[in-house]
Amino acid sequence: MKIAVVGATGMVGSVMLQVLAERKLAITELLLVASSRNKGKEIVWEGKKYVIKDLAEALECRPDIAIFSAGGSISKQWAPKFAAIGTTVIDNSSAWRMDVDKKLIVPEINASYLTKEDKIIANPNCSTIQMVLALLPIHRNYGIDRLVISTYQSVSGTGVKAMEQMNNERVGVKAEMVYPYPIDMNCLPHGGDFEENGYTTEETKLVNETRKILGDNDIRITATVVRIPVFGGHSEAVNVATKKQFKINDIRRELAATDGIVVQDNPDVNLYPMPLYARGKDDVFVGRIRRDESNPNTLDMWIVADNLRKGAATNALQIAAYLIDKKLV
């Protein structure tokens, strides 16, 4: 099993290698791939030195699986080339997510849809992944009518330069600004680019990807994305209106029984999810589960996860593990 990690020198790529070491996939050969400017550099992984290849060299090696974390333009250009030689591409960018011919996969929800013919598989947006996993039992048991989403997203979701901006601000250094305003001691209601309707691209992803993954285009969804001065971990306040009546204790029980979900919900002892304690973990944490007393058949919940792990690297590697286990590659 020959696996290529494209974007191995980036932030998600480094987390990918960490998770790969933890999960012990049955790899016979690992290819670490990055841009031409990083070609020839060395990375030590599991005690062994690996020389960085560029994409052309990686293509010649004909990997069984290539996990892309190198941005949408690179994926658009190179993923079809890898797919054409029989490589299965798992792509972390937004390039293929809404392509009607490409599957958008959260393994706990819809990995069973994958076949040998799927040569480009899309990994959802980090904020979408953690939310739909928590929505899964609710949608299955009660049907979701409407979602009102407010996110509190780590600067790490913007990339390493955003983290550097916040670090510089904390020590009083004036340097490159990734955001239009300071992020430390601040909140920016601005994720992605603004569109004509006043929503941002990050907000639109939450709408479209949620419908595609849950297989229901009739769910009404509105979202507000906010960047907050946190190094790792995305948080979401989600208001869920259901089609059927529910009992809150049943919702808690069903969430706790969902693979990949950890319920942390005991206000009596101040137990609720926080990004500080989600960092470095693969689970999605759910708490503050309560009935919305202003609207029938509606509940509120608070969802937190490490955006670089379950929101990116871990989800991609879970897809890879499923493909290997089911002999789809």
Please identify every residue annotated as catalytic.
Answer: 126, 234
Token couple for 243: 């089609």
Is the Cβ–Cβ distance between 5 and 13 less than 8 Å? yes
Q: Determine the residue type at 118.
A: D
CA distance 114 to 119: 10
Is the Cβ–Cβ distance between 29 and 3 less than 8 Å? yes
Q: Quickly tell me which residue has 């979401």 as its tokens.
A: 236
Is the Cβ–Cβ distance between 233 and 273 less than 8 Å? no
CA distance 54 to 170: 36
- Considering only CA atoms, which of 14, 63, 56 is closest in space to residue 39? 56
Is the Cβ–Cβ distance between 110 and 132 less than 8 Å? no
CA distance 226 to 113: 33
